Amino acid sequence: MTTPDTIQDIEIYAKNLRLTDIQSWLKSCFSSVETVQSGKVVHDFILDGHIPLMIVESAVGKAWTSIWFKSPQTPWGDDRECARSLQSFAQCRVRANAAPWSDGEDMDEWWQITESGEEGTLSWPNAG
């Protein structure tokens, strides 16, 4: 597992992906996926016994689900690596911040990988 000093957490957004599909992807990446609490739209998990994860369905509009690993201890070095992993597994559109977040920064620039694997940046949430 990668633990770079600059990465505090990983957060990605998946478009039109069911919770069950996200859970299948998680089970392919981690040895254990334990549900801590599951509500109507917010779901908390512990991965591999120590990595907290929060999934929020309809986090941005109805189509986008937030997947937030609240730890740097994941198999990925950054948000983009994580997004590529999910896209490869589910062939879905995935977005992440274009750059690491820092206080006072404009967070409208996002990076995405499309269903077909094309990568690029866009302004979001203003862009579809």
Beta strand segments in the chain, E: 10-15, 33-38, 42-47, 51-60, 64-69, 94-97, 109-113, 119-123
Paired tokens of 100: 């690491």
pLDDT, position 2: 44
pLDDT class for 61, splitting at 50, 70, 90?
confident
What letter does residue 24 receive in the DSSP assignment?
Answer: H
Residues 42-67 have a mean pLDDT of 96
Tell whether the model's pLDDT for residue 108 goes beyond 80: no
**CATH no. for 10-98+111-123:** 3.30.310
Tell whether the model's pLDDT for residue 83 goes beyond 70: yes
> Cα torsion for 70, 74, 78, 82, to the nearest 10°?
-100
Residues 44-73 have a mean pLDDT of 96
Tell whether the model's pLDDT for residue 28 goes beyond 70: yes
Residues 100-125 have a mean pLDDT of 80
